[in-house]
Structure formats: structure tokens, C-alpha cells
Amino acid sequence: MGSPHIATIVGARPQFIKSAPVSGALRAAGFTEALIHTGQHYSDALSAVFFREMQIPEPAFNLGVGSGPHGRQTGEMLRKIEELLEQVHPEMVLVYGDTNSTLAGALAAAKLHIPIHHVEAGLRSFNREMPEEHNRVLTDHCSDVLYCPTGTAVRNLAAEGIRRNVFCVGDTMLDALNQFAPIARNNSTLAASLELEPRGYVLATLHRPSNVDDPEGLRRICEGLNRLGLRVVFPAHPRTRQTLEGLSGDGGTGWRNILLLPPLGYLDMLALEESAAWIVTDSGGVQKEAYMLGVPCVTLRTETEWVETVDAGWNVLADPATADIEGAMQALRPQTRPDLFGDGRASQRIVERIAACLN
């Protein structure tokens, strides 16, 4: 490959999902893309499986940064991305979401005066204790073109003085879901192998340090899940699973209603989300997917960047400090589902804007 039109920087599971439909649309439009994987998520279950299932080309470069404290990880990514961008000379850099990979990519491009396009711009939880919030704000203020998933995101940027080159395009995760949900429905056999009945279980996902790093806090959450009366399917990161097994005192069987699983690929996860009675999560992406699939959601946080789903009655916040998940479920009032995240053509709009910028 000569100098690519676009260098796309990804590194974590949510970015693989968001970038898949855009990368496909870029290829269809004839653009060359150098996919740079920082290695922030590096296990097969959190990385390679998404490239296989979502038909994403293998990364042109894998920086292999791996885990570490936020500052060290971001700094190492910044150094390696800067060196690579100086070698490949892209015409623009495309970043997604709010991870350390996002911020490192944006900073490296800004230092080299390469135009930055940010997909999923304008999100705000207004909680500065979240590393993601710092990453969002700084990336948005570095970026030259900002693609917002919702009108709320556009208004958030305007309140910070960012009004030029801001486009409300919809959410690329809806594009991905529309493409892959039928495939998941027809091909995933996980629910059947676990003898799960449709609408007969709760799907739980937890990954935020504030929820999984404090053993007593995690115990409260699991006790809340265990009281629901339905089977709870909980795909857990190995580190979280180890903590849970230690808390139960018997290798995990003490949580009688909780079925611990390893992290899941995209298709299995979509299939379980679609058939669940409820979803309990602290993930921004899973909140959105629950809404898109019409499954009521309890978010174990005191705030969310996806306030539209709460306003629509399909999502409710539950304070992890009390973990009253059952009470939160009773407060949900799901009714109609407005098209909060666009019409499933966000990727095409992004590529059209990229074409206008590059031509």
C-alpha cells in the first residue's frame, strides 16, 4: 500500500463494532484505509473474534501496547502512533468513541497536522471521574470533523463552542446491528446450548472499574442480580470472574441464579441480547443495543451519556452503591421506541463527508 487515504485507529471491542460498517463503506467507495490496532484489547475473545465475525480486514499494523495504567498506556500509544503516521502519511485520521486509543490517535494526528475525523463525537456523561469523559472532551476539541450520533450530542458540542464541521449522521452501531443481528439470530447456538428460553433470563455485563474492582461493591451487585428470580447470564472478564469466584467462597456456585461465562463474540452477544427479558449493564454500547433491540435495560451507573434511552423509558439508572436492580426494573416504563440513533445509514453519510473532504 502506498500512502493511504485514511488511517483508522482502533483498539477496543466497541471500536471494532463501530468501525466495521464504516470500513466496509470506505472500501466500497474505493478509498484505501490503513487499519491501526493499538492492542488495547488483545485477547482473541476481545479482539480477533470481532475481525473474523464482522468481516473486518486484518489490521495493517498492530502496535501491541496492551494493558497498563491509563497515563502510561495512552503515552505509549501516542508514541507508537506518531511514529507510524510519519511513515504511512495518511490524508486523514479516523478515530472512534472514547477510549485511550481514541485520545492517543487524535493527539498524534493533531501534533502532525493531519486532519482528524471523530466518529461518535459529542457524548457527555458529565462525570469527570470517568476516564472516558476526559477522552471524549479532549478528542472532540482536537478534531476537525465531528460525526454525532444524536441531536443531544450536537447540542453538547455547541455548548462547548464547537459548531463548525459538526454533522448529525446517526449511530454506526445501528448500521452494524442491522447487518449482523439476522446472522446472529440464524447462526448463534449459545442460548440453545445453555437451555435458555427466550425472555426467560437476564443478561448482565459489567466492566467499569468502579463496579468490578471493589470486591464488596461487586458482591452487592451480584446479590442484587441473584435476587431477581430469573437466571442471570453474566459473560465476565477473567479478572472479574476470579474476583466473583473468590467472593462466593465455593468457586462461583454460591450465586445460584448467576451463570458465569467467558467474554462473548459479537454474534453470540447480539443473540443473547435480543432474546433476554432484561439487560443489566454498565456499558454504553450495550445500553444502545438494548434499546435498538427493544429490550428493557438497567444501567448500573449514576449517570449515562445515552440520556435519550432513559427519557424514552427503556433504560433506567441504578446506583451501584445500593444495587437495587429489582426496584430499578419496576421503575422502567418502556413504550414506543423513537428512532433515536438514525436510520441505519450513518456509515454511508460519514463516507460521503469524507469524500467531500478528500476530493
Over 60: is that where the pLDDT of 44 sits? no
Q: What is the mean pLDDT of the chain?
A: 91
What pLDDT band is residue 79 in, cutting at 50, 70 and 90? very high
Domains and CATH numbers, the chain: 6-171+342-358 (3.40.50.2000), 180-331 (3.40.50.2000)
237 vs 356, more confident: 356
Check if 207 is active-site: yes
Over 90: is that where the pLDDT of 163 sits? yes
What pLDDT band is residue 47 in, cutting at 50, 70 and 90? low
pLDDT of residue 249: 53
pLDDT, one tens digit per residue, over 189-204 is 999 999 999 999 999 9
pLDDT of residue 53: 78
Active-site annotation holder among 134, 141, 207, 237: 207
Over 80: is that where the pLDDT of 69 sits? no
Over 90: is that where the pLDDT of 48 sits? no
Pair type for strands 258-261 and 278-281 = unpaired
C-beta separation of 217 from 301 below 8 A: no
Q: How many residues does the chain have?
A: 359
